[in-house]
Amino acid sequence: MSNAEMVRLLEQYADLNEINGENSFKVRAYRNAAEAVASLGESVAARVEAGEPLTDVKGVGKEIAEKLTVMATTGRFPQLEDLAKKVPPSLIELTRVKGVGPKLVQSLWRTLGIASVAELEGAILAGKLAGLPGVGAKKLEAVQRGIEAYHRNVGRTRLGEVDFIVEPFLDKLRAVPGVVRLEVAGSYRRRRETVGDVDLLAATNADTASAAITHAFAAYPEVAEVLGSGETRSSVRLKNGIQVDLRVVPEDAFGAALLYFTGSKAHNVALRQVALDHALHLSEYGLFEGGADPDRPATPGSAGRRVAGRTEEEVYARLGLDGVPPELREDRGELVAAAAHALPDLITLADVRGDLHMHSTWSDGRATVVQMLEACAAKGYEYAALTDHSKALAMTGGLDEAKLARQWEELDEVLAEARPRSSEAPAGRAGVTLLRGMEVDILKDGTLDLSDEWLERLDIVLVSVHSHFELSQAEQTARVVKAVSHPQVNVLAHPTGRVLGERDPYAIDLAAVFEACLANGVAVEHNASYQRLDLSDVNLMAAKARGVTVTLGSDAHSVDQLATMRYGVDQLRRAWLTSADVLNARPLAEVRRFLRKGRG
């Protein structure tokens, strides 16, 4: 059984236990264990086979280790199967409806036999919900709104699509008088590959400004519906279905609030624990001396004297920690590293010296080679690899050997013109070295869609899977391993084939693929297109752990798409990568040395 499957089952077990009214700490323990497995970076099954104890994994104790072992060896989770007989798994879907939590689900199931969103809708129409304990007219309305939102917005929105919405909204709100700070927090700030709700955080210098921004927030033209509004918190749903929350906080607590609302939840929990270890108390209002007094009402500031809170750095510093970049705040060891002053010097967009994956009008790109090169020059790149598709992708106009030869004739001309032989040389693309490459299809049997002769002539050979996604894991792994073992291959592009929100990764043993890449001097790509972002952050961490070189490619099919590089850098940062881990953060000479694999 794969780690992903184990994660899914552990989460399901946690959810069902929660609905069943089980001890909330036990529920959390299973969620923590699921998270631990998800970010493990190695196969649990392999670990079990090797006899390495699972209890070494933080968050996995004796009980869960046993359950994981059973899953790994038998492919089953008997306790979950038993629980599912008492609590139907379809109830989990009900808790995804906003306004419906575990307690209400339990009540719906026990008293009315409701076990699905569809049945809930039916019961509301039939007037059966009124009279249930805790359900009045307003609650009923909230549940109905929740159901509408559920249908409209199942799943999350890709980061690159949220940007288009968020940036203009921010501009509007920043213009409100009295707003001194406005930031996006949440998973958007952590640069997760997809975003659920958008969390905005504002600091104002007067109470009147706080009312003004709340008003401007609700009055934004793209707002379809105001979901809730209070003195410090408001929520709206935009016309495209995305929910946006606004919090207004005092300026001197902005850092603590930004920290808190950026999360992740796991990071916050861990950070608060660090605060407690220092006999301090952390909330979104600041870091306080003296613990909260349980006998007094928990009003802001009642917890003691504030010792930090204006900036995030101030809070971290008071806890003896270096400032943690938002991308790392996932409770994957960043606090330990911050305490040891050992956080990685994360790669930045400015470190990227070239783009190693782009298309032109020679296959399915929309811009010519010259246009792409000029755009790369404008970005200050030292080099760029032209990597059009091969002939197997007929619909993209992929290149066969004859067409590739014609492309090279054009490249000869382009390069001759670009050479600064006189003052009339086109300044635009001067300075960008073109690497002649191709994105060659991996055929079903693992052979490559281009002759060896041409593979040898290319400066850089990317290989990738664009077909036969449904092969078994063993077949897919063997296919890809065979491809990267070809002596002329340099980069395995978008290694899992996923398309966010559209297509799951195909079944493949990445550990085996990484081993083959390492043995053959092949790099794995992080495809920076925000539809793909493949490899994922967790898989990138695993690649780095095995010593595999990573490349970054925009996979641009137009000049505009070259800019998606920033989303790729986001994910590399989330994976703790530094510029030293990334091939195209190195100077051209080093890149060439890597591509030659030590040959001539």
Partner DNA sequence: GCCGTTTTCGGCCCGACTGTTTTCAGTCG
What's the CA gap between 427 and 405, in Å, rounded? Answer: 27
DSSP calls for 42-86: S-HHHHHHHT--GGGSTT--HHHHHHHHHHHHHS--HHHHHHHHH
Which listed range, 129-137, 169-177, 363-371, 478-486, lies at the site for DNA (CB under 7 A)? 129-137
For the CB of residue 243, give the shortest distance to DNA in the complex, in Å: 7
Q: What angle do CA 172, 178, 179 make, to 5 degrees?
A: 50
Using CB under 7 A as the binding rule, whether residue 95 contacts DNA is answered as yes
For the CB of residue 29, give the shortest distance to DNA in the complex, in Å: 4
* Residue selected from 76, 152, 174, 233 as contacting DNA according to rule CB under 7 A: 233
Do 546 and 321 form a contact (C-beta atoms < 8 A)?
no
192 versus 557: smaller Cβ distance to DNA: 192
Using CB under 7 A as the binding rule, whether residue 237 contacts DNA is answered as no
15 versus 534: smaller Cβ distance to DNA: 15
Using CB under 7 A as the binding rule, whether residue 303 contacts DNA is answered as yes
237 versus 494: smaller Cβ distance to DNA: 237
What distance, in Å, lies between the first and last C-alpha atoms of the chain?
A: 44
What's the CA gap between 95 and 98, in Å, rounded? Answer: 7
Which listed range, 228-236, 328-336, 544-552, 566-574, lies at the site for DNA (CB under 7 A)? 228-236
* Residue selected from 70, 84, 123, 140 as contacting DNA according to rule CB under 7 A: 140
For the CB of residue 537, give the shortest distance to DNA in the complex, in Å: 21
What's the CA gap between 572 and 581, in Å, rounded? Answer: 9
What's the CA gap between 31 and 10, in Å, rounded? Answer: 7
Which listed range, 139-147, 386-394, 482-490, 510-518, lies at the site for DNA (CB under 7 A)? 139-147
Total binding residues toward DNA, as defined by CB under 7 A: 69
C-alpha Rg value of the chain to the nearest Å: 27
Using CB under 7 A as the binding rule, whether residue 65 contacts DNA is answered as yes
Using CB under 7 A as the binding rule, whether residue 211 contacts DNA is answered as no
62 versus 444: smaller Cβ distance to DNA: 62
* Residue selected from 175, 206, 269, 350 as contacting DNA according to rule CB under 7 A: 269
What's the CA gap between 254 and 509, in Å, rounded? Answer: 45
Q: What is the DSSP letter of 109?
A: I
For the CB of residue 212, give the shortest distance to DNA in the complex, in Å: 16
Q: What is the DSSP letter of 398?
A: -
Residue holding tokens 């603590």? 256
> Residue 551: in which H helix or E strand, if any?
strand 550-553
233 versus 406: smaller Cβ distance to DNA: 233
Which listed range, 203-211, 227-235, 352-360, 491-499, lies at the site for DNA (CB under 7 A)? 227-235
**What 3-state class would DSSP assign to 478?**
helix
Backbone angles phi, psi at 195, to 5 degrees: -125, 135
Using CB under 7 A as the binding rule, whether residue 92 contacts DNA is answered as no
Buried b (16+ CB within 10 A) or exposed e, 111-130: eeebbebebbbebbeeeebe
* Residue selected from 53, 291, 380, 587 as contacting DNA according to rule CB under 7 A: 291
Which listed range, 285-293, 308-316, 388-396, 400-408, lies at the site for DNA (CB under 7 A)? 285-293
* Residue selected from 7, 40, 120, 142 as contacting DNA according to rule CB under 7 A: 142
* Residue selected from 74, 111, 208, 273 as contacting DNA according to rule CB under 7 A: 273
81, with CB counted inside 10 A (0-12, 13-18, 19+), is exposed
Do 582 and 572 form a contact (C-beta atoms < 8 A)?
yes
What's the CA gap between 148 and 393, in Å, rounded? Answer: 41
Do 242 and 227 form a contact (C-beta atoms < 8 A)?
no
142 versus 343: smaller Cβ distance to DNA: 142
Using CB under 7 A as the binding rule, whether residue 153 contacts DNA is answered as no
Using CB under 7 A as the binding rule, whether residue 232 contacts DNA is answered as yes
442, with CB counted inside 10 A (0-12, 13-18, 19+), is buried
Q: What is the DSSP letter of 178?
A: T
Q: Which residues contact 531 (CB under 8 A, 6 or more apart)?
A: 158, 160, 499, 500, 502
* Residue selected from 268, 476, 529, 564 as contacting DNA according to rule CB under 7 A: 268
73 versus 473: smaller Cβ distance to DNA: 73
DSSP calls for 571-592: HHHHTT-BGGGBGGGS-HHHHH
Near DNA in 483-522, by CB under 7 A = none
Pattern 156-195, DNA, x by CB under 7 A: ------------------------------x---------
Using CB under 7 A as the binding rule, whether residue 229 contacts DNA is answered as yes
Using CB under 7 A as the binding rule, whether residue 58 contacts DNA is answered as yes
Using CB under 7 A as the binding rule, whether residue 283 contacts DNA is answered as yes
> What tokens appear for 103 in the block?
């307690």
Which listed range, 92-100, 111-119, 450-458, 562-570, lies at the site for DNA (CB under 7 A)? 92-100
For the CB of residue 207, give the shortest distance to DNA in the complex, in Å: 13
Buried b (16+ CB within 10 A) or exposed e, 203-240: bbeeeebbebbbebbbeeeebeeebeeeeeebbbbbee
**What 3-state class would DSSP assign to 532?**
coil
For the CB of residue 127, give the shortest distance to DNA in the complex, in Å: 14
Which listed range, 133-141, 217-225, 464-472, 494-502, lies at the site for DNA (CB under 7 A)? 133-141
Interface positions with DNA (CB under 7 A): 23, 25-26, 28-30, 32-33, 55, 57-65, 95, 97-105, 133-142, 146, 186, 197, 199, 228-233, 243, 245, 261, 265, 268-269, 272-273, 276-277, 281-285, 291-292, 298-300, 303
